[in-house]
Amino acid sequence: MAKKKSKTKRTKKPSTKQSSFKLTSQHKLIIGSLFIILGILFFVSFVSFIFTGKEDQSIISQFPTRSDEAQNWARLLGAQVSDLFITKGFGIASFIFSGLIFLSGIYVALDLNKSKLFKHWIWGILIVIWLSIFFGFFTHKYDVLGGVIGYEMNMLLQDYVGKIGTSLLLLFGLIIYLAIRFNVTAQSLVSVFKSAKSTITNDLKEVEEATFSVDNSFSEEAVSIKSAYELPVENLEPT
């Protein structure tokens, strides 16, 4: 006798739906506004730190309390954040961070293309590093121009390649930035130098012409005035 095939019932597995969290327009507006406010707050704090940073050093060096009155326009928070980014960070190049945070808020609030924002952040960070190393030539360790990071990176490069090598590396970095970011070529640089040279020579010619040009009307008036006060020699008779 043929064996009966046992029918196996297939049990359907409950379908697990993946809950995908997506930001709504309201969420984007809230987060974008937060970034915009933070960018403005950072910028105001950084500007104030340039003028009031020395007065707030006693507050920054110790753990702040509510009784401490910071001179920074953003008070204790502004003094602490500014000291972290400017003095202990990248110097005045840290202003770029406030601009990037503000720009991020605009992109999030308006739901713009985030790939462009990512490029802005990459180039912004590279510019911050370049500027901090550049200003590290002219400052000491705890100065607001280059900051601690800029000074230490500059000294590290000088230990390996010296001041001349560090200067050449900075120049090379500037050339890379101009070539990639603004599509600058050698021909465009030559044309810029030629146009600058032509404008300088034209300005010098105009200055020379204005200096050595003599107004004939004034010379004629001077001759007529002189002749009016002169007496002819033959009319003079001895007394």
Integer-rounded Cα Rg, in Å, for the chain is 36
Quickly list DSSP for the chain.
-PPPPPPPPPPPPPP---------HHHHHHHHHHHHHHHHHHHHHHHHHHHHTTTTHHHHSS---TT----STTHHHHHHHHIIIIIIIIGGGGHHHHHHHHHHHHHHHHT--HHHHHHHHHHHHHHHHHHHHHHTTS--TT-TTTHHHHHHHHHHHHHHHHHHHHHHHHHHHHHHHHHHHS---HHHHHHHHHHHHHHHHHHHHHHHHHHH---HHHHHHHHHHHHHHPPPGGG----
Across residues 21-30, what is the average pLDDT?
A: 90
**Per-residue pLDDT at 36 exceeds 80:** yes
Across residues 41-47, what is the average pLDDT?
A: 97
Six-digit token string for 44: 């105001």
Q: Which of 80, 44, 177 is nearest to 119 (CA)?
A: 177
The pLDDT value recorded for residue 196 is: 83
**Per-residue pLDDT at 234 exceeds 60:** no
Rounded CA-CA distance 42/52 in Å is 15
The letter for the amino acid at 177 is Y
**Per-residue pLDDT at 5 exceeds 60:** no
Task: Report the share of the chain in percent with pLDDT over 70.
Answer: 77
Q: Is the pTM of this model over 0.75?
A: no
Task: Give the N- to C-terminal CA distance of the chain in Å, as an integer.
Answer: 177
Across residues 196-225, what is the average pLDDT?
A: 67
